[in-house]
Amino acid sequence: MPRIVAEYEFVFVPFYRLITLSGPEGDWRDAREALRRANRSVVATDTHELFISCAQDLLPVRAVVRVWDSPIEPASVATEQAGVSERLPLNCPTAGLTLGSPTAPTKEVKLPDGPGRYELVVVHRGRADALRQHEAVMDRPLDEMGDLSREEPVEQYTINLWPAT
C-alpha cells in the first residue's frame, strides 16, 4: 500500500499561467514542445521539468506536492470533480526540486528517496470556477479590486510523485 512520505503546499499567483516543478537543470526556455502540450492538456513534462498550464493568472492557486514511497494508480487519487493527468516521467538528478512560477517566489521540495527517475500524476480541480472568478474580478472597477493575492484559491493542483520502478 503506497504511503505519503513528504508533502509540500504552496499558494501563489501563477504568473504567465504557469506552474513548474524542476531540478537545477530545468530551463523552461528550452521546453517549447512541453509548454505547447501543457497548454493543450493542462500538464506535460520534458522529462526534466513539469509544466502546468493554469486557467488564469490573476488569482492565487494552491499547489500541493505529495511524494509517495511507491507507485499509485491515477484512479486512486481521482474524484468526480477533478481532472487527472496521465502518468508522466520526471528525471531528478538531485534530491531537490523547485516548485513555482517564472516570476513568483518558489518553494523547495526535498525527495526523501534522493535523485533518480520518478513518475507523477497531477490532479487538478477548480479550473472552471477560477475562470468565472477571474471574469467577475475583471468586471469590478479598478478601485474596488483590492489585494487579489489574498483571495482564497479556487484553482488547485496536486502533484503526486513517486520513484519509478
Vertex 46 angle, CA 41 and 51, to 5°:
50
Nearest to 11 by CA among 137, 132, 157, 162: 157
Residue 162: pLDDT band with limits 50, 70, 90: very high
CATH number for the domain including 9? 2.60.34.30
pLDDT tens for residues 116-160? 999 999 999 999 999 999 999 888 888 887 888 888 999 999 999
- Judged against a pLDDT cut of 80, whether residue 87 lies above it is answered with yes
- Pairing of β 49-53 and β 116-125: unpaired
**What's the number of domains the chain is made of?**
1
pLDDT tens for residues 88-103? 999 999 999 999 988 7
Domain that holds residue 144: 4-163
List, in order, residues 6 or more apart from 22 with CB less than 8 Å away: 28, 48, 49, 50, 97, 98
